[in-house]
């Protein structure tokens, strides 16, 4: 790739790029609903699941008070016995599902061995982003983490990307961005001048984009980085 700047850093989206977040969220939420039904929710389980996931679409998948809002919607008040049962069940399942995709740790080690600086640009709230990295035992790999509170803007706004570029101290052309969302991740990073790789293995949102690379599995990233020079 003669005439192009050498790659110095790789930025990652977090959810569905490093971790199968939607699988994790569904399993935890299903467990929570099941526990709330057993605790006296007074609603058929499948109907309750449907309402909860509609509320995720309305309030956002990261809403930290979603179960309280759910109970107010379906019962008119928050029964703390039912709420506690749901939260406890969610947390128990969370420990078993907050795992990185197969090959993530191995890939990150290889990237670090190549001297690359690694970072995260996530739409998740700051504490949740850091917690996910800690729960997956990946904290050691990332020098830069940009989360929602750092700019107050969601991707594809240029502000999260600009913040990350500033923290890294490199030119946009020297950075590869890896993400699963064509619109938010790939289009947002390309507009900033970064190289882009679509994490097709974790893609849950359809959309037209023109990534520089497509990753069928996490490990493909090592080859991509070598191609970038």
Q: Which residues contact 74 (CB under 8 A, 6 or more apart)?
A: 41, 43, 48, 51
Instruction: Say what the alpha-carbon torsion angle 127, 130, 133, 137 is, to the nearest 10 degrees.
Output: -110
Q: Residue ranges of the alpha helices (H) in the chain? A: 21-38, 45-59, 66-75, 80-97, 104-113, 126-135, 148-151, 158-168, 188-191, 220-228
pLDDT score, position 170:
97
Q: Are residues 112 and 208 in the same domain?
A: yes
Which among 97, 126, 144 is the end of a domain? Answer: 97
Q: For residue 204, what is the domain's CATH number?
A: 3.40.50.1000
Query: Mean pLDDT for the chain?
Result: 94
More confident residue, 148 or 204: 148
pLDDT above 90 covers a percentage of the chain that reads 87
pLDDT score, position 1:
37
pLDDT score, position 132:
92
- Within a domain: residue 2? no
Q: For residue 90, what is the domain's CATH number?
A: 1.10.150.520
Whether the model clears a pTM of 0.75, i.e. scores above it, the answer is yes
**Ordered DSSP codes for 91-106:** HHHHHHH--BPTTHHH
Q: Are residues 81 and 152 in the same domain?
A: no
pLDDT score, position 115:
96
Question: How many Å apart are CA 23 and CA 32, to the nearest integer?
Answer: 14
Number of domains in the chain: 2
Q: Are residues 14 and 78 in the same domain?
A: no
Q: Are residues 28 and 113 in the same domain?
A: no
- Within a domain: residue 1? no
- Within a domain: residue 111? yes
Question: How many Å apart are CA 215 and CA 208, to the nearest integer?
Answer: 16
Q: Are residues 135 and 211 in the same domain?
A: yes
| Vertex 112 angle, CA 107 and 115, to 5° | 135
Q: Are residues 82 and 165 in the same domain?
A: no
Question: What's the pLDDT tens digit per position in 51-92?
Answer: 999 999 999 888 989 999 999 999 999 999 999 999 999 999
Segment 115-131 mean pLDDT: 95
Which among 49, 67, 97 is the end of a domain? Answer: 97
Strand ordering across the sheet containing 175-179:
144-146, 117-121, 9-12, 175-179, 195-199, 213-215
Quote the domain boundaries for residue 150: 9-19+99-228
Q: Are residues 127 and 211 in the same domain?
A: yes
Q: Are residues 160 and 220 in the same domain?
A: yes
Q: Are residues 112 and 211 in the same domain?
A: yes
Partnered with residue 197 across adjacent β-strands are 178, 213
Question: How many Å apart are CA 219 and CA 85, to the nearest integer?
Answer: 39
Burial class for 154, CB neighbours closer than 10 Å (0-12, 13-18, 19+):
middle
Q: Are residues 152 and 68 in the same domain?
A: no
Which among 97, 120, 152 is the end of a domain? Answer: 97
Question: How many Å apart are CA 214 and CA 199, to the nearest integer?
Answer: 6
pLDDT above 70 covers a percentage of the chain that reads 98
Q: Are residues 93 and 202 in the same domain?
A: no
């Amino acid at each position: 790739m003669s005439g192009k700047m050498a790659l110095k850093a790789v930025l990652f989206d977090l959810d569905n790029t490093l971790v199968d977040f939607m699988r994790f969220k569904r399993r935890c939420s299903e467990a929570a609903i099941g526990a709330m039904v057993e605790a006296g929710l007074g609603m058929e389980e499948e109907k309750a699941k449907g309402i909860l996931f509609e509320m995720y679409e309305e309030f956002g998948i990261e809403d930290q008070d979603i179960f309280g809002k759910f109970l107010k919607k379906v019962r008119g008040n928050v029964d703390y016995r039912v709420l506690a049962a749901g939260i406890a069940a969610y947390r128990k399942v969370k420990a078993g599902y907050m795992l990185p995709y197969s090959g993530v740790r191995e890939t990150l080690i290889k990237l670090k061995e190549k001297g690359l600086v690694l970072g995260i640009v996530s739409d998740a709230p700051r504490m949740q982003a850091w917690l996910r990295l800690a729960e997956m035992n990946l904290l050691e790999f990332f020098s830069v983490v940009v989360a929602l509170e750092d700019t107050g803007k969601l991707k594809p706004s240029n502000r999260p990307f600009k913040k990350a570029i500033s923290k890294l101290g490199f030119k946009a052309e020297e950075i590869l961005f890896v993400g699963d969302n064509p619109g938010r991740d790939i289009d947002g990073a390309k507009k900033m001048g970064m190289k882009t790789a679509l994490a097709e293995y974790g893609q849950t949102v359809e959309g037209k984009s023109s990534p520089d690379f497509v990753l069928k599995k996490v490990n493909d990233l090592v080859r991509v980085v070598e191609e970038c020079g």
